[in-house]
Every structure is written in structure tokens, then in C-alpha cells.
Structure 1
Amino acid sequence: MAFSIPGLLLACALILQFSSALPSLPNAFDKRIKASPLAPIPPSKDPFYTAPPNFESVLPGKILRVRVAPGNITSIIANSSAAYNIVYRTTNSRYRPSWAVTTLFIPIATTEKLSSESTCVGKALLSYQFPYDTADVDASPSFDFYTYPQGSWIDISTALGQGWYVSVPDYEGPTVSFTAGVQSGHATPSPVDSVRAVLSSDFGIGFQARYALWGYSGGSLASEWAAELQVHYAPELNFAGAALGGLVPNVSSVIASVNGNPYAGLIPRSLLGITNQYPEAYKYIVDHLNPSGLYNKSTFLSSIYLTTPAADDFFDSQDIWKYFINKTAILDAPIIQKIYDIEGLMGYHGVPQMPIFIYKAIGDEVAPIEYADDLVARYCAVGANILYQRNTIGGHLAEDYNGDTRAFAWLSSVFDGTYSTKYPSRVCTIQNVTVGMDTSPI
């Protein structure tokens, strides 16, 4: 269908305007957007990572401030012409006003088309939840871009190469609430409040753009929670789909399975992250740590300042329960169990209304597959549309690599409108597959 350029621009302007209570953004490529510091500053020291006064009075998803992403980020993330940091209003796990940051990448292909045709051409927005799995605010994705190996961002670069806009949220929020599902689901970009924020900005995203979410492991946690919460929290949003790899439906099961193995560092990060918004529970954790000895309070709390790789190295194969006076009984305390029941169990806050692709290794040693099987069965029983592939090859990390091609193919189909011709629609399909070159058990 053809549109006149003036008519299309007017439509874009009407759709993409946002609240008059806040200053509107300039056009995506307008030089009036103020540049940022030449070098990135850790979020804990960067005044940009704050909310303006009275931010609580605006609606969730409203943009609070925006800037050009610091440094030469386009040299790190291939296929991007520009990147912006966006602070937006959201809601925390306790349903109180909060804020979060997302980084929006503009694909080169879209920039070229905008300059040549002057039309509202962005047709796809991918919300990519990076599994940063940490309780350290300075290890949030918006800063990780500058510190992680460039290969960590291959999924983002590939998506940009397809001409997709990509939004990468710091979905754990300012309290860095790792494994807190409600917080992560609200703050995630394409799903809930950040998709509201990104779509309300004027960065060339077409008014008929499709939007979807994708995450692996810790990123799947945020993505699934966003899909689960959306039906009640943001019913006006119509997602094209969600790709969930290495799904983690039960956080407590992960804690039980990783103690004493290379992923043991997930335990302190989860216990401290999930209780960050619950002061009494956080105090309970801290009060039950050994004050001295080899496994002591100071060592345990140091995980707050560690990135995922650093924490994995430091706590590698440790028995984490040795840090606690009451050992494993810490998890059985009602004050802790209640939080894990609220924040760490998927499937109890709503049924995803969008098509879902779940891919997982049968031999996943981090998040046992039986919990994903149970979640899929529960959703399918009430009419969800799910393609669930259980891979006979590899383990948790291996499936991240082995599942990439399938995830991209599936996402491409929901973006280009061919999903219903390539995959079963309005039904659940469960398949055992044997796919991939990485056969490692981890």
C-alpha cells in the first residue's frame, strides 16, 4: 500500500509523540540531541542514571531523559549507525514508581533509507535482554558494552544487520534486582515499559512496526516475565512474539542445582539481588552470614561489586551454604521463601498472549528441564501458542550457541509476517531436536 510522504510523516508524528509533561525528543538524527561524555562513566558515578524530580507523577513508559550513548559505541556494536541511552519511568516489584535505562541502537540500513526516502521506515523493534546476571549496578548492559569482549554482542549486531532496531534494557533497574521477575518484566524494553518508551520516541521507528523480545538464560527470565505480565500491566501492547532460550522458570531450582559447581556464583548474586527491594529480607540474609572465618560475610557481600565473569571465577565450585550460620535453612525461612515464590516462579501472573518460541537443552545442568516442561504444559493447557524445542545436544551454555540460528529464523518470521505459514499457529508444538555443533555439557 502506498502512502504520500507528507501523510506518512504526519501519521508517524501523531503516533510517536509523547507526554507534553516532558520535553519532546528531536528527530532521531537531529544534531540537537546533546552529546555525552567522551568516555563512558560507571552508572554508580554518572548523574545521568537518576530520575528527575517528580518522575513518579508521569505514567509508566514515559521518557524522562535521553542522550547519545557515550564513546564510540558504534565501533563496538557492528551495523549500528547511532545509539541512545533512554531513562524511562517504570514500576518495581512492589508496584511502586521506579525508573530504568535502555540503550536503543539504530540500524545502518534504516539510517540510509531515512536519508534517501524521508519516510517512517523502521519496521521491526527487538527487545534484547542480555543476561547480565549480577547485583552490581556498574555491570549493567548500558555500561557492559564498553567492558565486555566485542563477541558478546554478536546477536545485537546480527539483528541490526537485518535492519531491526534493537533496544537493550538495564532491566534489573537501579536496585540491580537480579532474579526479581516482576521488576525485570516491568522494566524490559520491547515488552512493557521500555517498549512504551522506545515507541513514543521519534527515532524513525515506523508506526506499524512489529516488536518482539528475545533473551537467553537470565535474559529469558526478564523476557518471559515481561510476556507474562503484559496482559494485565500493558494490555494496549501487541507483541509479535517472544524467543526464550535456556528458560529459568524456577529460580530456587537453579540455586539447588548449581551449588558446588562452576555456576555457584549465581547463588550470592541471586540472594542479594532478589531481596534488594525487600529490606527486611535483605537484612535477614546479611544477619545470617558468618561474621568471620574462611566463608564470611565480607567475602559473600563482595559479590555485589562483581561482574558475572568475575563472580563465576571467584565462587567457582564453592559450597555457598558454608557462608551461612544456618546453612541451607536460609532458603526455608518464610521471609525468604515468600520472595522466591513471588519473584522466582513463572506461570502465576498471567498467560502470554503472543507466540512463544522456547529452546532448551535437555541436559541443561543450570536450570533443569523438567521445570520448563511443566511451565509449557501449564500454558498449553490454557491455550498459549508455543513452539518448544528440547535439544538432545549440549548443556546450558552450549544451547545459547546451538539455538541462535533457530531463534533468528523464528524472530524473522514474526517480524516479516510469515510466522503462520512456517510454524504451527494457535497450538502448542513440542519437539525433541538434535541441532548444533557444541556438544559440551555446560
Structure 2
Amino acid sequence: MSRRPLSSATVLAATLATCGVLLLPAGTAGAAARAAVPAPGSVPPDQDPFYAAPADIADYRPGQVVASRPVPNPTLDWIPMPVDVWQLSYRSNDSNDQPELAVTSLVVPKRAWTGAGARPVVSLQSPEDSLGTQCAPSYLLAGGQDNQDAALGVELLAANWAVAIPDHEGPKSVFLAGPQEGHAVLDGIRAVRDFGADGIGKANPWALSGYSGGANATGWAAQLQPGYAPDVPLVGAAIGGTPAAPRAVAKYIDGTSFAGFEFAAAYGVATEWPGSGITSLLNPRGQQDFAGLRGQCESAILSSFAFRRLNEDTTVPDPFGVPSVAAVLQQDTLGAQPPVVPVYDYHADTDEIVPVGQDDQLVSDWCAKGATVQSVRDLLGEHVEEAAVRETAVSVYLGDRFAGRPAPSSC
């Protein structure tokens, strides 16, 4: 089956974007405006007008495309097949339901889809785990840089599926702000479906996948979909090494070599929910540390905060016990509503970064509310290893869902 021809509007969008032109959809303010923009991946997002929200972003509907551009001649060493790559910006909502601009990358194999029905698409959430826009998947992908999507994405593309990779931390690069991440994922799917590039439109079936920080975003998208995006049907979701409960994860890694994740999460939660009062609890050292955290990527955060304890930066011995902090962390914990999409949940029992117990609680909570969850636990394995161990199993699970086979359940 050959790819569906592009509409004239899509061809026009591609032509303008190839020439370095930012295209706004018809019917919006400044629809005819054209602004020269840098080549994708040539400058960090903070310096790229493509990532800047229009003044009337609130007038866009969630998932409505704001701008689009192809990534010309993508040099992606980790993708072993010819692909087309697009960047789409679109309106989404943060955790407080305030409008914001989000970006997703669509990767479509050039090889024609010959399977039954339309080509499957997977929204793959990267474990970005960072606090700077220069760490965003779209920027790394467009610049040809290897990143944490590599191992996860190759297996999906090898199946000749399309893959969408949203910048799920949003324009503020907030780490572990679950509702915001879920919105960005679901609105990214809406944007890709409406854009219609390379035969990817409303007829294509969608699934979700993510590991670690990407699993948190994936879980939130699955949980929020029935209420936030009932127009976005999903056939399956796979989550691994999931940090479902930020408080439990933070206590687990406090004072360890992975304490940087705790500090990054505290910064992200403080940014997304100022009412948590986290910044008011900081002592002088904490104020200095938070200033240094801004804009940092994962490797720098982990090296700077290894073996640190969070209460070294606060005026109280147990910052998690402060009512305003505890309330926000509870709000940011997965499990309150069941997803309607079947879920494959995998985790290493010996995970040294994300404790398996809080993920077991998520499975229990979802199952009790009627969800379909296949829970897989590996007796041995490190956090990073688990992603590789279950890589093929994830593709098989999602392939079965695309094929319409009944989903197994451990509930």
C-alpha cells in the first residue's frame, strides 16, 4: 500500500517550512505572517522563534497546530532506515490548565506501509529528566544528537511504525509534573493527526510507550485520556521503571548517587506549582542550588547533587511533611483514575533508582478501579538495564494491540 498523497495545504506547509518560513494556521491572528527561523536543531529552543508561543495562544484549541517544519536531511545515526522527520508546535495546557506552546517530532519511515489498515503510530515519551530546553528531544533529534530515545525508538521504527516524540516537559522544562506531561502527549497526538504528513492522519491507530521519566508522562497520558482527550483513542500503552509517586521515589534516592533526580523533581514541582511553597522552605544553600539547577541537563544535575540530602537545602527537617508540599505531591501521584487503554507495566524488582513498591501500588490502584494492566516484574536488573531487557516485549505487546488481539491482565 502506498502512502496517502499529501493535501495541497500540507504541501504548501512543507514548502514554506523548507524555505525557513514559520507557518501559522489559517483563521488565526497573523495567519499570513512569515518569519525567518533558524534551521531545526541549529540553535537551542530558547533562541529559536519556532518554540515561542504566539500572543494569542489561548485562542487555539488544545492540540491545534501553531507551526510546522520538516527536518531536512536528518542525520540520525541511531535510526537505521530512511525517515522523514517533522517538527510541529501546538497549543497544550500545563498542570494548572493554563495554555502553553508544546512541540513534538514526527518520525515516519520512508518505506511504504504494507500491513493491514493504516500505519500504526506510537507516541514515545523520552526520559528527558532535565530542566533546560536544550535537553528537549526535538532539539537533540533535529541536531542529529544521540539521546535516550535511541534504544526505545529503533525497535518501533523497525516494525515500520511511525513514532511521535513530544517535548513532554513543556516550555518550562518541568520534570515530573504529571498532568502537564499527559496534556502535552495527548495534544501532540491531536496535532500529528490534524497535520496529516506522510499519510499519518485520523485513520492511524495510536499507542503510547515510555520508560522512567518517559513512563511517568506515558502513564499520565493514559490516565488523563478518558477525560481530557476522549477524541484520542488509544490501543495500548507500555510503561517501565515508572516513578508513579514522586514522594516515594525522592525518599528512596535521598542521599544516594542518584539524588540529583530528587533535586530536579523538587525544582520542577516548585516551578509548576508555586503554591506548594517549596521555594519558601529553602535556606541560603538551597536558594543557591535552585539557581544553579535552572537550565541544566540530566548528566550535570546528577554529578552536582550526588549523595546530597534535600533537607540540607531547607529550613525544615522534613520538607515532604509540610502540608502544602504533601498536597501537591499527592496531586502529582499516578493512580487516582483508571486508564481505559490496556497497559503493559514492567519493572525490575532490584531497581536502584525507582522503587518497585510504588509502581506495584499504581498497578493495584488501577486494577481496583477496573483497568486492564499486565504487570511484569524481573527479579534482577538495574534501572537502565530493564529498558533493554523489555524492549522487544514492549514491541510485541503493542503489536498485539494494533492487531486487535485481547489484552492480557494481571488484575
2:303 aligned residue: 313
Deviations 1:162-186 (A, max 9, x none): 2111110111111212111100000
Given that residues 134 and 273 in structure 1 are in contact (C-alpha distance below 8 angstroms), is that contact kept between their aligned partners in structure 2?
no
1:299 aligned residue: 289
1:232 aligned residue: 227
Separation in structure 2 between the aligned mates of residue 99 and residue 217 of structure 1, nearest angstrom: 24
Matched residue pairs, number? 391
Given that residues 212 and 239 in structure 1 are in contact (C-alpha distance below 8 angstroms), is that contact kept between their aligned partners in structure 2?
yes
1:155 pairs with one of 152, 157, 161 = 152
1:33 aligned residue: 17
2:364 pairs with one of 377, 382, 385 = 377
1:360 pairs with one of 339, 347, 358 = 347
Runs of 4+ in 1 over 6 A off after TM superposition: none
Q: State the secondary structure of the residue aligned to 1:86.
A: strand
* Higher alpha-carbon deviation: 202-211 or 54-63: 202-211
2:27 aligned residue: none
| Closer, same or farther: CA 126–250 of 1 in aligned 2, 3 Å | same
Q: Which amino acid aligns with 1:367?
A: V
Given that residues 231 and 352 in structure 1 are in contact (C-alpha distance below 8 angstroms), is that contact kept between their aligned partners in structure 2?
yes
Given that residues 107 and 163 in structure 1 are in contact (C-alpha distance below 8 angstroms), is that contact kept between their aligned partners in structure 2?
yes
1:255 pairs with one of 250, 263, 280 = 250
2:33 aligned residue: none
* Higher alpha-carbon deviation: 305-314 or 226-235: 305-314
Normalising by structure 2, what TM-score?
0.87
1:342 pairs with one of 331, 337, 341 = 331
Separation in structure 2 between the aligned mates of residue 120 and residue 373 of structure 1, nearest angstrom: 36
* Higher alpha-carbon deviation: 314-323 or 151-160: 151-160
Q: State the secondary structure of the residue aligned to 2:271.
A: coil
Pair 1:392 & 2:392 matched: no
| Closer, same or farther: CA 366–75 of 1 in aligned 2, 3 Å | closer
| Closer, same or farther: CA 150–130 of 1 in aligned 2, 3 Å | closer
Normalising by structure 1, what TM-score?
0.81
Pair 1:49 & 2:45 matched: no
Given that residues 358 and 386 in structure 1 are in contact (C-alpha distance below 8 angstroms), is that contact kept between their aligned partners in structure 2?
yes
Per-residue deviation, 1:226: 0.4
Per-residue deviation, 1:342: 1.2
Q: Which amino acid aligns with 2:193?
A: L
Q: What are the residue-to-residue correspondences of 1:29-428 with 2, within 5 Å?
A: 30-36=14-20, 37-38=38-39, 40-69=42-71, 72-75=74-77, 77-110=79-112, 122-145=118-141, 146=143, 148-149=145-146, 153-188=150-185, 192-203=186-197, 204-205=199-200, 207-281=202-276, 284-291=277-284, 295-327=285-317, 329-343=318-332, 345-348=333-336, 350-417=337-404, 419-420=405-406, 423-424=407-408, 428=409
Which runs of 5 or more residues in structure 1 are unaligned?
Answer: 18-23, 431-442
Separation in structure 2 between the aligned mates of residue 120 and residue 101 of structure 1, nearest angstrom: 30
Separation in structure 2 between the aligned mates of residue 312 and residue 70 of structure 1, nearest angstrom: 34
| Closer, same or farther: CA 355–296 of 1 in aligned 2, 3 Å | closer
Separation in structure 1 between the aligned mates of residue 133 and residue 322 of structure 2, nearest angstrom: 27
Per-residue deviation, 1:74: 4.2
Q: Which amino acid aligns with 1:289?
A: L
Which runs of 5 or more residues in structure 2 are unaligned?
Answer: 21-37
Separation in structure 1 between the aligned mates of residue 52 and residue 377 of structure 2, nearest angstrom: 42
